Chain A
Amino acid sequence: MADATDSHGSKPPRTDAAASREIRFRGGGFRPQSNRWAGIAVFIVLIALVEIGLRQGWISALTLPRPSAVGATLWQLWESGNLTRHLFPSLSRLAVGGAMGALAGIAIGVAIGLFGLARAGLVPLVAAIFPIPKIALLPLFVIWFGIGEGSKYALIALGTFTPTVVATFGAVDNVDRTLIRMGQSFGLTWWSIVRKIVLPGAMPGILSGLRVSLAIAIILLVAAEMLGAQAGIGAYILEAGSLYDLDRLFAGVVILSALGVTLSWAMGLLEKRVLRWRA
């Protein structure tokens, strides 16, 4: 090359351009970056499309309500105080039923993880209960626990119980055995080993199981409230549906979605706090 023969500097001249080429970077990708705005942008674009489509008439008004009308309905719901009237019973059902199911699930799951007899006896039972659509059992629960709150708690509790059990005993199985061996070698009591080694070690798995259980709890909440509830998001949606009041139906759906997002966010916070020891 011309400049190579011309150069008389201290740098050794590059003899051939083809021989010295920067190595192409090929290690990128496969590492999703977090971007909090992308999720919100998708929502806004979708809602705007529906709104414009309905106003322009290329979406039939029979198929979807106007997002702006749903917004107005939500605002009305809030102003009239009906939002709290419906939301509060739903939240308390979710809390009581979910807590019962999750706590029982964790307890049974730990027992299955620790004791051979519990494993042999209960794993088939859990496998038998898991695939039953719990909603199908609602009439049965009404007979057992009455049309009041009892049957609703029971439905939500049973729905959260099975996934929690499965996640918990899987997590207990995955606790590092060398840590348990270490506890024994230092003469720790059985209870200390369970409390200080097994449970914290299983916590990541238990928490990710709880995420699934909570989503299931919201689904079952609506189902439970469709039978014999005066107040509650589910009752509100059912009433709107039977009147074909799409604005109110969608307002209810939006509240449920918001509930799901809020709970998932709260779980994220909890995980961050409890699992701070992970990288």
Chain B
Amino acid sequence: MDLAVEGLGHRYGGTEVLRDISLEIPAGRILCVVGPSGCGKSTLLRMIGGLERPSAGRVVQIGEAPATSLNPLTFVFQDFALLPWRSVAGNVSLVLEDNALPRARRDAIIADVLARTRLSDFAHALPRQLSGGMKQRVAIARALAVDPAVLLMDEPLSALDAQTRELLMEDLIGLWSRTPFTAIYVTHNLAEAVRLGHRIAVLSRRPGQVREVVEIDMPLADRQAGDPELEAVQARLWDLMRDEARAADAELLDG
């Protein structure tokens, strides 16, 4: 199943936040969306996931989602969005309970995704007992449980410290290498974008427009922090973004 964004635009009241965005999201690849803060990249993601309605243009699904997928478009949120009153296993269970699955099947899925995210030992822990990195791994496990066709990741590592971010990035690369998934990964962190993105779409400041889409051919598994080729791409992305980011920083939020 592929996704395509066609001529998408959006305004909040009088403020135009997105203008004429067209993107293709082919199956099995990760598209990173980068841009200065306030450029509407999270809004774009919410529109792709059907949580918000664009004022112009549309998001199209090409082909059917696999029949096994319980929730084709699945979000991973920046602030984890875990229910504090449910255990790790309970948080994963939440998204399965509305599907008529036999109990044994549900338990098997929970055990499987917790094993894949190395959380099996913490199945009965409550979110407040977990570190930030573990919380995000729970959120990723929860997303994997519904067997998504496309993962929509909204700055999933931004709330974490640098070391945890590095570890979780390796986790994500590991997950993708074993079973490639489709993902749209929104971030303002260029280092994350060059590590995880097969393609990187650079948005301009508000109103967000696609300035350029950069392809990186190097396999995800071969990408290391500090690789000169990636550094070069990152420098180029920063060149594209620097003036935009500076201008965005000088704007009033409600201007």
Report which A residues bind B (CB closer than 8 A): 178-179, 181-189, 192, 196-197, 200-201, 203, 277-279
Contacts and interface: CB of A to CB of B under 8 A. Distances in A.
Pick the 6 closest A-B CB pairs, nearest first.
A182-B81, A277-B85, A186-B95, A185-B75, A200-B85, A187-B71
B2 interface: no
Interface residues of A, dominant DSSP: helix
Interface of B: 49, 51, 70-71, 73-75, 77, 79, 81, 83-86, 94-95, 97-98, 126-128, 142, 146
Given A185-B74, A187-B98, A178 B81 contact: yes
Contacts of A189: 98
A200 B128 contact: no
Nearest to A274: B85
B95 A278 contact: no
Interface residues of B, dominant DSSP: loop
B98 A192 contact: yes
A187 B73 CA distance: 9
Given A186-B95, A189-B98, A277-B126, A179 B71 contact: no
Given A185-B74, A186-B74, A179 B98 contact: no
Nearest to A204: B85
B165 to A, nearest CB: 21
Given A186-B71, A188-B95, A179 B81 contact: yes
B51 A184 contact: yes
Contact of B84 (A181, A187, A188, A277): A277
8 contacts: A178-B79, A178-B81, A183-B94, A186-B75, A187-B70, A187-B71, A192-B98, A277-B86
B83 A200 contact: yes
A185 B77 CA distance: 10
Contacts of B73: 185
B231 to A, nearest CB: 35
Given A181-B51, A185-B51, A187-B98, A277 B77 contact: no
Nearest to B79: A178
A277 B128 CA distance: 8
Given A179-B81, A179-B83, A184-B51, A196 B75 contact: no
Contacts of A179: 81, 83
Contacts of B75: 182, 185-186
Contacts of B74: 185-186
A15 B118 CA distance: 56
A171 to B, nearest CB: 14
